[in-house]
Amino acid sequence: MSALSDLRIIDLSSNVAGPLCAKMFADFGADVIKVESPLGIDEARNLGPFADEEERFETSGMYLYLNTNKRGITLDLESNQGSSLLRDLVSTADLVVESYPPGFMASIGMGFDALEEIRPGIVLTSVTPFGQTGPWRDFQATDLVEYAASGLSYVNGLAEKEPLKSPGFESYYQAGLSAFVGSMTAICSRDLTGIGQHVDVSILEAATSIFGPQLLASLHSGSSPQRRSPDTPSGMYPCKDGYVSLNVRHEPTWQHMWLFFDEPEMAGDPRFATQDDRRRRGKELADLLLPRLAKYTMEELFHGLSPLRILVGMALDVPAVVNDSHLNERELFVKSVHPVAGEVSFPGAPFNMEETPWQLRDPAPTLGQHNQEVYSEVLGYSLKEIQGWHDQGAI
């Protein structure tokens, strides 16, 4: 049984955020039809890593991950025939996800009002860099631009160095998950009221929303959080074979840590008597801990300190994460066999539901793989008509 098997989603989005939103629906059972233009493919197909450099178009690891369990078709939205076919698809759908610039859908006669005439109660989710309104609405952006504009870069790094960005596509992922939550909320509202709505997702706002303590500090007190001083321990300490994150400011953490080191008398050091003392004397605290931590491996510290209810984490490299026994026992990583890329692995369920679990049913579609299936079986057109649209470049 699948949680969302009664839903159909038309995925007009590209790159990362929109496709991730649609992927969440597909992975929990919805019929997601991914639409790519025969003239301009999803940008994610150009994002590595690639399973086969000679077949990059069909073997992008990012594309393969973001489009599992979807059916893929081609359609030129700006052609007369393409517009007509899109209307047919919309008439069967619960949700349309798109990531075009603000105003594009309306310019081709497919804005929310037009979609609602075709399918009363439909939900349209638009994922754009800066949202549908505001002075920046027409600007383009990358994840780097979004991360910087959100304020996240400014507080990331050392005070004496330039602002830093975290690796990967953090703002895109956050926006994709926000789009999924917003879309599901709108669908639930539709089911209660019969009224659809337009969900406006700004990637910048999604990134800014995770900017917790520092943003709240500015909102509540007017302060301007800065990058940390190199003299203040960040909570990441070197050990025998790598680094561990360690929080030793709080009670009873302070007491328990010294029991682990078999030096209980150190817990009474007057320099670090209170949490405030330990915060103010961060450099001295680091100097005290470094030679002791250097005697232990990450595993020894993690398994030795965690039972004492001390917050400690191993700074694992990526291969160690992939091979981690805990994650693999919970079956986070899954394998799929793609007709071009072959066997590929990627993260599976972002959360688990006992009665309606996440399922990997199909690999990401090749370009236009399901044209005949969708246009014939879903919309009822003949094979001759489908071939004619292909010859015209409409699909």
Stronger pLDDT, 346 or 230, i.e. the higher one: 346
Question: Counting runs of H as helices and runs of E as strands, what totals does the chain give?
Answer: 18, 11
Stronger pLDDT, 47 or 217, i.e. the higher one: 47
Q: Please give the torsion angle defined by the CA atoms of residues 351, 356, 357 and 363, in that order, rounded to the nearest 10 degrees.
A: -110
Q: Residues 6 or more apart from 300 whose CB is under 8 A from it?
A: 240
Which band of pLDDT confidence, cut at 50, 70 and 90, is reported for residue 333?
Answer: very high
Domain ranges in the chain are 8-211+329-392, 243-314
Omega within 30 of 0 (cis) for the link into 135: no
Neighbours of 79 (CB within 10 A): 20
Contact 214, 155 (CB under 8 A): yes
d(CA 92, CA 119): 8
d(CA 29, CA 95): 14
Contact 77, 86 (CB under 8 A): yes
User: Which CATH superfamily hosts domain 8-211+329-392?
Assistant: Crotonobetainyl-coa:carnitine coa-transferase; domain 1 (3.40.50.10540)
With 0-12 CB in 10 A as exposed, 13-18 as middle and 19+ as buried, what is 140?
exposed
Contact 215, 208 (CB under 8 A): yes
Q: Which of 18-32, 39-53, 291-305, 363-377 has the lowest mean pLDDT?
A: 39-53
Across residues 171-177, what is the average pLDDT? 95
Read off the tokens for 32.
């997601």
Q: Which of 152-156, 178-182, 242-246 is the most confident on average? A: 178-182
φ/ψ (deg, to 5) at 255: -65, -45
**pLDDT tens readout for residues 105-124:** 999 999 999 999 999 999 99
Look at the block and give the residue holding tokens 């091979």: 323
Contact 218, 154 (CB under 8 A): no
**pLDDT tens readout for residues 7-49:** 999 999 999 999 999 999 999 999 999 999 987 789 999 998 8
Residue 32: in which H helix or E strand, if any? strand 31-36
Across residues 207-215, what is the average pLDDT? 77
Beta bridge partners of 345: 335
Contact 323, 345 (CB under 8 A): no
Q: Which of 10-14, 271-275, 317-321, 361-365 has the lowest mean pLDDT?
A: 271-275
What is the pTM for the complete model shown?
0.90
Contact 14, 43 (CB under 8 A): yes
Mean of the per-residue pLDDT values of the chain: 90
First to last CA, the chain: 33
pLDDT at 226: 66
Read off the tokens for 148.
């910087």
Q: Residues 6 or more apart from 135 whose CB is under 8 A from it?
A: none
Sign of CA dihedral 216, 219, 221, 224: positive
